[in-house]
Every structure is written in C-alpha cells, then in structure tokens.
Structure 1
C-alpha cells in the first residue's frame, strides 16, 4: 500500500508479461474449488507477508495470503504449499503452471492503481487509467478464466480529498470504472493510525468505503476490507484489540465478505510481520478470527432485512446499523455504531421470538428480551454481536 511506501506490484511488469508471454489459459477441469467456495470458511487474509511465516499466521486464523513481494517465486510457492496456505498471487509463468494449483486461490492486480503513479524518470504522474486496468484484467482472465482476480484500491474509495490521487483527487466517479477490473474488490484506509487529524480516529471511514464499493458494483461483486493491525507509520499509536475488532465487524455489518490484515510496521523501525511480535494484539486478532470462523456459515447465509427495527435514543441519532442472520435455532443481530458519541438503542424483533434473553457474544453479557424487544448502549464506534435462541422442535 502506497501510504506505507510499499509498491507491492509493478504495473509495468504486469503489462510486459501479459503482452509478451504466450497465452496459457488453464483448462484443467480438476482445478480445486478453493477455500472461497467452502460454506464454513470466512476469508481472512494477511497482506504481502513472507511465506516463511505462513504456519505462524495460520495459527492465529489467517487462511490466505494476499500478494507476494517480488514474486511469486519457487521458494515462496513451495513454502506456502508446505503450509497449505492459499494465496492470491501476481500472474507469472510459474504460478500459471499446474504445480501449485492447490494453493493459487486467485490472482492479484497491481496495488492501488487509483493512486498517483511513480514516473520512470522520477516524480509522480496520474493514476492508472481505468480503461488500461480493465484491459489488463481481461488479459489476465484470458490466461486463467477459472480463478478470481482481486483488486485492492486506495483510500480514495472512502475519502474523496485523499491527495495521494494527484490529479484525480476529488473524482470519486473514477471508481465506477475501476470496479470493472476485478472479480473481488478490496480497499485500505487506516483511521486508527492515520496521519491526517481529520481522519484519525474516524473508524466510520472503513464502513463508508465498504458501502461505496458495494454501491459502485450494485452489490454484484464481493468486497473485502483491509484492516490495520499494526502501528503502520505511527510511532505513537498502536491499535488496540477492541479497535481492530470494531473495524472488522463494522466492515462486515456494512457488507464486507472478507478481511485482510495489514501488519507491516514502518516506524520507529521496519517490522514486516509486526503482529506476530505483539502478544496482546496477536491474541486479540486470533480471538476475532476464531469468532469469524465460528460464525462463517451464518455470515455466508442470506440476510434477513426487515426482521429487526432500530429505535435510537434521539431522533437525530441514526448511527447504529444491523446485519441480521439466522441458523436453524438462533437469530443473530450484528450491530455497529458509526458515531464518535455514545448512544442507547432499542431493538425490536419482528419474527415472533419468545420472551427470554439475548446473549452478547464475546462480552460475557446477557440482556433481557421483553416482548420481542431489548435495549443496549453503544460507545464510540462500538460493535455488539447478539445471539437469540429460538424455541423450535429440535432446538434446546
């Protein structure tokens, strides 16, 4: 991500490869469906990490790699294969071959093409033209029509005034075309450690970016959210486990179908896998990931619009939103606030659950459910996950 001075993928090398190398689209009907098709697996990745740490990342619930630095190389793919860690990789002849079919989950487009691009002779030029990116996407699909292509976009997705877009700052309409250049879309903005005082601390910008990507695609493509889980470039701010959890769940509540953690640290010194070196944050991320996998089947089920009503404490306070799901015996209400102020909310359930109680997951709390209604308090940008048992035959 260019904010962190990482040029993860070179657009020029991609174009050179796609234009000069012979076409090698994969026709192997035995290609594995991959983890994305599994109903009980929620995609949780890590951005641009060395495969030598794949086993350690797997131990905290990471189930794919997004990108490979200066790769993919033989060493990288062998290490990922040994760890049984899927990867979204740049396309090259090695990765397009059949030897690593079991771990190539998909392909990566060049990172943040919507940002100003480095000129060959120095300085910055305009972003990549959407038409050029769409052409590259089509060429990559010709090489392998079976695997999805992931495109990560920059913070202009959520923040129109991001000056890193150069001449295209304040032009959000560009994204209506950028989103055509991928099968899966992600974006990154890091509000906890952000250097701009107007963005720093505004966790709602992550939800805003998810909303906008879903809107630009009419909900037709999966959207993933890149979440900061390191200092990034801040010497004085380290995200807490609660903040990371809120970012993850705000993303999901607003429609994200996958999570990618950004764990590089650049200040006061460079640490590529800084999350693995921070015991409290690593433990918190592991717990978040465990909850995501525990609820994977629920999260991948159909949503239930109109089942839950939200009545804020004040008429002007409509900051809390909800994602409603179910399994055979439970109703789940995943809720989050986009406000920096605390608020109280009353939830009403329309599908006739019995009077009883509401379990608040991960918080060791139980709320009374009276006449299909309950109340709860939300701190700034807080998220709460509610689980309500149903009285049905076969359900205890």
Structure 2
C-alpha cells in the first residue's frame, strides 16, 4: 500500500445517516455523533432481546476464523493484532514483533520465512500461497488504482504499464475476482481498500467490491497524518461533502470508527464479514506542509475508536516515508516514539480479547456527552468501552439498564460510583479512552 493524495468526488455516503442521528441526539451534525450504544449494524448470528436490550454477536460470529483451512484461531482469547508488509527473516525479527504484542502479519515480503512465522506461534496472511499461511491477501487498494469496473485486467500493477483493457477503462472488480480464483482452496481471503470505497465512489460502485469477494476486509483512511484527507471531496464525506473539515473535525480518533461504520454499510445486511482496523504507526506520507507524524496517544485512541465500533482485528501500517525516522519497520526501528504505547495497547487488547470477541449488549447503555461507546457482555459482566468524539473532550454521563454499584476503570487504578444505574467521567481531549467493567450489576436478563 502506498499513500495517495489525489482523487475524484463521487456518490453519496453515510453522512446523511450521521447528520440525522446527530440531529436526533442534540449533538452538532458532524463528527462522532452520540447515539444510544454501539452504531454497529448488520452482524450475523442469533440475537436475543429482553426489555429493550439485544444480545448481538460480533461480525461473522465468534467462531468465524475457525471455519477456514489453516485459519486463525477461533479461541476467544485470540484477537488478531497485525503489522502490514513486514519482512520476517530470522528469529530476531520475530522476537521484536512478539515483544510488541503482535501476533499476525498481513502482507509479507517474498523472502520472508513463513515456516519460521508459524513455528513461532505467529500467523501470516500473504499475497502468495503457502502451506504455512493462515489466509491469502487479494490486491490492495484496487478500488483506487483499478477503479470500479469489470473490463479485462492486464495482470499488471501500478507502475508496470497499462492496467485495464482498454487502458482508460476500470477493472477493479475483475482484479479481485481473478485474485480470488487463484487463491488456495478454503483459505481465508483478506482485502484492503482505500479512499475509493471510503470517499470517492458511489455506494453503488463500492458495494460491488463486497459481493462475495473477501472474507475479512479493512480500509486505510489515515485521519491523523494524510495531507489531503480533510478536503471536501475526501473526509468531507462525513458532512455530506459540503465543505472541508476543520482540523478539530478531521484530526480526530473518532473518525477511525467512522471508517469501520462506512465499510459495514457497504456489506449485505445480516451477512457482515469481519472488518479490521487499519491505523498508521508513524509518518506514512512524504514530508509536505500538511503531512504529520501520528503520536502515541493518537494511535491508542484511533485503535480503540475502531474497536468500539466493532473492528475484529487491528493492522498497523508500519512504514515511514517522511519524518525523522524513515523506515519500513516502524515498530522495530522507531520505538522511542510509539513502541512502548503500542506494546501496552496490544497487551491490553489481548487481555480483553474474550470481551472483544463476546457479544454486544445493544440498548443497554445510553450516554450524554462527547463520546462514542459500546456495551459488551462477557462471563456475566457488563463492560462499557468509550472514547471521545470531539477534540476538546468533556464530561460524559452513562446510564446502564443493567444497574451496578461501581464502574471499575480498567488499567487506571480508579473506580466510579454508580447511582441509580448512572455514573459520570471526564474525557480530557479527543484522544481520551476509558474502559469500564460494571460491578454489582446484572446482565440485563441476557
């Protein structure tokens, strides 16, 4: 994947829904509108309801990964935490990556040792077939470089010559179907899309990339670092392409959750495949006036926004094309800036994997204040995960139908009293994330 900075404006997107929800909730109709509980929709699997609360499984269902040949573990204690396009040449590479809390490689250099990856308890999803792989990656960002169309594909990639026949036509649908046709039988198929499905293409054009193509999907929208993403024709999708976003509206962790929701709307209701978060770990664009380096707090907030919105895996973009540490191995080479925070974040996600893989309690929680949030149920305990959706942050009050006496704030060594099902906390800025486990309550009858 290479960062892109230009494109075309096309179609309608989720913005109208966001505006409508915002108007109903009294929140300004732009970023991260506060709505009752998770905005995740269209998951598969059985649901159960009681007194307005619905128990809903994660996208694909909890055992999804175990349905593929040599797939990822279906163990609820496993949550995919991946790095993009690494090279694994020796045990030292593996040691650095596992120490950072990674467990999966998405895309790998051709000279990587996949036998070593598997023998080390790691998992690989390369673009080439291998008996040691746990999946197969289709073409990356094909929505951008080949476009929405079904003309013949020449078999070439950007920089190698004409892509489609005729040359000026679009052949992205063809590319993915041909890549799928050469994939190993029974393998889990993964694809990453870009600004095409996120911003530039119409819904009608975009949904064609989700009709029986891949089994796991992601989209890379680098809200904190992309020099052009705040423009009317890109990030402006959030507000109906009416204007450019302001810096506070654009450089916001909650927008990574918006990307997850955008991809979910393009899939068939009731048959949503798992969506993985895609978050930059450094400075992915060459230096320009608007290219920036993501900070450690921003990485954590972006990942948690994605998880709050139902992401079932995390991928870190691991390449710096600008900034003060040019590298193809950011989490190995540029660790002073972000590695400690990313390591702690990955450990936290791994520890909460059974909760993240567990069902949602839709309708169990309401909130007032500048937050996006979701409610989960695991082992009889209710969890509320929340992240700020405004750059300024602010106080937020949560009310849980499941009751409770205390909200334990995970990994913060503090608790909050719950009175009549209600508690209040402060989100200091747009990167604030708080994770709560409710004690002394029930499971809303589910």
Give the whole-Å Cα distance in 1 for the aligned partners of 2:343 and 2:361.
Answer: 28
Cα 1:241–1:131, aligned 2, differ >3 Å: closer, same or farther? Answer: closer
**Among residues 195, 213, 227, which one is paired with 1:155 in the alignment?**
195
Once the two structures are TM-superposed, the CA of residue 326 in structure 1 deviates from its matched residue by 2.1
**Among residues 269, 280, 305, which one is paired with 1:228 in the alignment?**
280
Give the whole-Å Cα distance in 2 for the aligned partners of 1:105 and 1:374.
Answer: 43
Within a 5 Å distance, the mapping from 1:166-245 to structure 2 comes to: 169-180=200-211, 181-196=213-228, 198=230, 201-217=251-267, 218=269, 220-233=272-285, 235=287, 237-245=292-300
Secondary structure of the equivalent of 1:114? Answer: helix
**Among residues 258, 267, 270, which one is paired with 2:313 in the alignment?**
258
Deviations 1:325-368 (A, max 9, x none): 12235211011232223232211110232x2x212223333222
Cα 1:352–1:364, aligned 2, differ >3 Å: closer, same or farther? Answer: closer
Aligned to 2:348: 291
Deviations 1:274-328 (A, max 9, x none): 222223511111111111111111111111011111123xxxxxx5222111223
Cα 1:338–1:128, aligned 2, differ >3 Å: closer, same or farther? Answer: farther
The question of 1:377 aligning with 2:419 is answered no
Secondary structure of the equivalent of 1:210? Answer: helix
The question of 1:274 aligning with 2:330 is answered yes
**Among residues 80, 102, 109, which one is paired with 2:117 in the alignment?**
80
Once the two structures are TM-superposed, the CA of residue 238 in structure 1 deviates from its matched residue by 2.9
Unaligned runs of 5+ in 1: 6-30, 161-168, 313-318
Secondary structure of the equivalent of 1:205? Answer: helix
The question of 1:61 aligning with 2:117 is answered no
Cα 1:263–1:174, aligned 2, differ >3 Å: closer, same or farther? Answer: same
C-alpha contact (below 8 Å) 1:107/1:147 kept by paired residues:
yes
Cα 1:359–1:156, aligned 2, differ >3 Å: closer, same or farther? Answer: farther
Aligned to 1:13: none
Give the whole-Å Cα distance in 2 for the aligned partners of 1:191 and 1:126.
Answer: 30
C-alpha contact (below 8 Å) 2:138/2:176 kept by paired residues:
no
C-alpha contact (below 8 Å) 2:82/2:314 kept by paired residues:
yes
**Among residues 38, 44, 47, which one is paired with 2:75 in the alignment?**
38
Give the whole-Å Cα distance in 2 for the aligned partners of 1:223 and 1:127.
Answer: 29
Once the two structures are TM-superposed, the CA of residue 170 in structure 1 deviates from its matched residue by 4.5
Within a 5 Å distance, the mapping from 1:360-375 to structure 2 comes to: 360-375=409-424
C-alpha contact (below 8 Å) 1:226/1:261 kept by paired residues:
yes
Unaligned runs of 5+ in 2: 6-67, 147-157, 236-249
Once the two structures are TM-superposed, the CA of residue 86 in structure 1 deviates from its matched residue by 1.1
Give the whole-Å Cα distance in 1 for the aligned partners of 2:386 and 2:171.
Answer: 38
Aligned to 1:28: none
Once the two structures are TM-superposed, the CA of residue 4 in structure 1 deviates from its matched residue by 6.8
Give the whole-Å Cα distance in 2 for the aligned partners of 1:82 and 1:4.
Answer: 36
Give the whole-Å Cα distance in 2 for the aligned partners of 1:280 and 1:116.
Answer: 32
Once the two structures are TM-superposed, the CA of residue 119 in structure 1 deviates from its matched residue by 6.0
Secondary structure of the equivalent of 2:366? Answer: strand
Secondary structure of the equivalent of 1:35? Answer: coil
RMSD: 2.8
Deviations 1:27-48 (A, max 9, x none): xxxx865434121101100000
C-alpha contact (below 8 Å) 2:403/2:441 kept by paired residues:
no
TM-score by length of 1: 0.77
TM-score by length of 2: 0.69
C-alpha contact (below 8 Å) 2:360/2:374 kept by paired residues:
yes
How many residues are aligned here? 338
